[in-house]
Structure 1
């Protein structure tokens, strides 16, 4: 409820001279007898503070109940009290009228800047002028809670400017107002806050209303997200945490998006959603990055040259005292979020990658410490492990919600991820080729010098090809040499290729698919040769045939297991999951799990 109390002590119950409030002002009483800050302030009676010195119990309080102290419940929207079994200081609880004031007691609301730092009210305690508007004639306590209401999901906070003669408070504490000949609007007390504006005869009523009714396209209001809560901003911290701010936020510019281009629309006060829509976001810097150029449409959507349609996953916020290039109202774009099923798959993928990282590291340590394993095959496997380690670590960081706040960091980790995964694929090619070269045909015995030359060639092929493809992808993003449909657009929605272009297919999927096809060819050739050698051994084994057959079968089994693992079967499964257009999360789960645990399989076999 809102506004004044002139209490006259008439009626069947006289009001006490002093009310004992259990907790200090702005604090409320918890069920376990603690005082925690909640923002309630009580007015229009004389108060003392503190718990009674007795054996007490917590009770719900109604008007005229006899208690030793009363207060707001921290857990519920109700009045509670402490009642002693025997206490000389007890009183009858008065009526408590609930009111939500938008701004602090000593401030009015600036309706133009939508800020609580407008004109300071001269007489701050109690704010008689404010309360006399709506609550003249009431008696008891006025319970003031400062701040805008927390709107439920799907509701937006809308400012209504109303002459105080057109506002009334019902006995039920509901707020009723009417403006411009419309039908009266009725709100529960927790759905609105009220305050004076710079025009003293005009009240602001900030009310939670359904977005689908008041916001465009069905309504007339432009509705956007504010990153922080009302009265908070990104101030003096590089981590961009929301902290209290005393600087009004400028009204963002809006544009009518027409076929001829964006046309600036006359500035209007928007309806705000608060504290969202995401926790992981990055700031757009159109003055530094052409891909960040954007316009906020009057429909509340964000339009960018790199995104074919307007999107709603962004928020605006006032930023200052962070860095020189960040000052004023900035737009923050969300990293892509996932639905519940997809997020569950990603979490399992992240856990599997963590396990793989540990076992890949152990495998690398074993091969580094044992000289007998540091042959040509062992060194190629160590290079493969290094590339896969880098790819898994960077990928796992993103899956575990490590989201860079700067877009250049997002792009850098995306291109690094691309390079590391490509290098891993090409090292699989090297290993597959090397196994086929050694076992797929009869070769003369190699010298150590030849091994060194081949290792150099293998490094040039694997690291060099991955680096060249990644560099071409970077060039496609930072230059105009490629058509828009072929640009990488890394970091637009997430730290990976933008799905609206063909860059992912050109710079990642085609090279990796070609690599896998080559691996399968090497696998088939080597398996055929193994079978041929086994048959020859069987024909030649005139004595002790069983032992010879066992050795040949054992060697074939071990070789096939190695080939099955290292020649990219798990990556074939990964591509199957990528091409699952029906989003069958059962397929996603198992293919991603097998792929993410590759490090464990490598450790077990090698």
Structure 2
């Protein structure tokens, strides 16, 4: 069985000439893959011993050069998302309800992209760890979309009236929503994945670390993303209608406009490129879709631009701490001509992470 790279499966049985995996005491399969059974030496480093073990050997999925490019783009995104998290976490005036939600969103996306980059760039040899990486990537990726929806809900509530609860208690409720729902979805998907039967399984850890085809992605991932993106769009349209029809004071109008513009940028970054990726599953491969996929994998850099570079409040905070060094003069001139609408907004939910 000639292959460039191999996968060694230790827990398996052979039934009627087909491979059946054993995971958590349950049978998975039979799998429609070519394989052979061989004895390999498994080393024990601490005892300096080699144990001969019977394993199933099958071909690892070859890495597409295009997927390699996507993997490195994801690493770039992870770096910029980590920088965004570090900046928002370092300054108390940025750790309001919105800021803590941004930290959670960027952190979730960073972990998801890091795991997906590992899946794309590294050949797998242990299906158990492969499944763990796949389910963790799914959990954090879906969590980032729930956090985007939580941010949209916050903007909607802040644009209408002061918060009824303290920012601390509100963040706990948002956290329960944005972390709890993905956890439930991930657990349900794991049950479906490892339950014996011929139903449509996600396939994570079943000779693949990630969803093997478009139908699996639509069943378990794109469907959830689509619902959340549509909800975010509805919130934006509703808020835009409020601005156009309701007679607010000038200060309130300015606050609403700032929040709406922020929603537009977040909606584009969090949803537009994913929508293009979903559309591409119904069409043939084309260079346009590849370019859009590259932008999607670079959304961490785009998020950094919107949430740090283009947000005067963040730049002003960094400048006041003297962290721009030799660029302080240029930054000060730019801040002098920029209209910081946030400073004129009435913020109802600002609170630090600590109770000090």
TM-score scaled by length of structure 2: 0.72
Give the drift of 1:377: 0.6
**Distance of aligned partners of 1:514 and 1:331 in 2 relative to their CA distance in 1, 3 Å threshold:** same
**Secondary structure at the counterpart of residue 199 of structure 2:** helix
Counterpart Cα distance in 2 of 1:425 and 1:295: 43
**Distance of aligned partners of 1:567 and 1:322 in 2 relative to their CA distance in 1, 3 Å threshold:** closer
Quote the residue 1:473 is aligned against. 189
2:220 is aligned with 1:507: yes
Counterpart Cα distance in 2 of 1:421 and 1:430: 15
2:308 is aligned with 1:592: no
Give the drift of 1:561: 4.3
**Secondary structure at the counterpart of residue 486 of structure 1:** coil
Counterpart Cα distance in 2 of 1:337 and 1:394: 18
Counterpart Cα distance in 2 of 1:527 and 1:559: 12
Task: State whether residues 419 and 467 of structure 1, in contact with CA within 8 Å, keep that contact through their aligned partners in structure 2.
Answer: yes
Counterpart Cα distance in 2 of 1:320 and 1:567: 47
2:134 is aligned with 1:425: no
Counterpart Cα distance in 2 of 1:420 and 1:359: 17
Q: Which of residues 278, 288, 305 is equivalent to 2:4? A: 278
Give the drift of 1:503: 5.2
2:55 is aligned with 1:330: yes
**Secondary structure at the counterpart of residue 306 of structure 1:** strand
Q: Which of residues 554, 568, 573 is equivalent to 2:276? A: 573
Q: Which of residues 204, 208, 213 is equivalent to 1:494? A: 208
Instruction: After TM superposition, list the pairs within 5 Å mapping 1:219-368 onto structure 2.
Output: 225=1, 276-287=2-13, 293=14, 296=17, 306=29, 309=32, 311-312=33-34, 314=35, 316-322=37-43, 327=52, 330-338=55-63, 343-368=64-89
Per-residue displacement from partner, 1:268-302 (whole Å, max 9, x unpaired)?
xxxxxxxx413252325215xxxxx4555xxxxx6
**Distance of aligned partners of 1:308 and 1:427 in 2 relative to their CA distance in 1, 3 Å threshold:** same
**Distance of aligned partners of 1:294 and 1:418 in 2 relative to their CA distance in 1, 3 Å threshold:** farther
Q: Gapped runs of 5+ residues in structure 1?
A: 1-224, 226-275, 288-292, 297-301, 542-547
Per-residue displacement from partner, 1:3-43 (whole Å, max 9, x unpaired)?
xxxxxxxxxxxxxxxxxxxxxxxxxxxxxxxxxxxxxxxxx
**Secondary structure at the counterpart of residue 40 of structure 2:** strand
Question: RCO higher in 1 or 2 (8 Å CA, sep ≥ 6)?
Answer: 2
**Secondary structure at the counterpart of residue 365 of structure 1:** helix
**Distance of aligned partners of 1:434 and 1:560 in 2 relative to their CA distance in 1, 3 Å threshold:** closer
Give the drift of 1:303: 5.6
Instruction: After TM superposition, list the pairs within 5 Å mapping 1:321-470 onto structure 2.
Output: 321-322=42-43, 327=52, 330-338=55-63, 343-401=64-122, 403-439=123-159, 442-443=160-161, 445-446=162-163, 449-470=165-186
Task: State whether residues 284 and 331 of structure 1, in contact with CA within 8 Å, keep that contact through their aligned partners in structure 2.
Answer: yes
**Distance of aligned partners of 1:566 and 1:431 in 2 relative to their CA distance in 1, 3 Å threshold:** farther
**Secondary structure at the counterpart of residue 29 of structure 2:** coil
**Distance of aligned partners of 1:526 and 1:278 in 2 relative to their CA distance in 1, 3 Å threshold:** farther
Greater fraction strand: 1
Counterpart Cα distance in 1 of 2:40 and 2:12: 15
Instruction: After TM superposition, list the pairs within 5 Å mapping 1:75-224 onto structure 2.
Output: none
**Distance of aligned partners of 1:384 and 1:552 in 2 relative to their CA distance in 1, 3 Å threshold:** closer
What's the C-alpha RMSD, in Å, of the aligned pairs? Answer: 3.2
Aligned residues: 295
Counterpart Cα distance in 2 of 1:326 and 1:509: 44
Give the drift of 1:387: 0.8
Counterpart Cα distance in 1 of 2:178 and 2:52: 45
Per-residue displacement from partner, 1:133-164 (whole Å, max 9, x unpaired)?
xxxxxxxxxxxxxxxxxxxxxxxxxxxxxxxx
Per-residue displacement from partner, 1:329-361 (whole Å, max 9, x unpaired)?
5321233225xxxx2331221122111111101
Q: Which of residues 268, 290, 303 is equivalent to 1:602? A: 303
**Distance of aligned partners of 1:432 and 1:282 in 2 relative to their CA distance in 1, 3 Å threshold:** farther
**Secondary structure at the counterpart of residue 580 of structure 1:** coil
Quote the residue 1:562 is aligned against. 265
**Secondary structure at the counterpart of residue 166 of structure 2:** helix
Counterpart Cα distance in 2 of 1:384 and 1:460: 14
Task: State whether residues 10 and 54 of structure 2, in contact with CA within 8 Å, keep that contact through their aligned partners in structure 1.
Answer: no
TM-score scaled by length of structure 1: 0.44
**Secondary structure at the counterpart of residue 320 of structure 1:** strand
Give the drift of 1:553: 11
Per-residue displacement from partner, 1:59-79 (whole Å, max 9, x unpaired)?
xxxxxxxxxxxxxxxxxxxxx
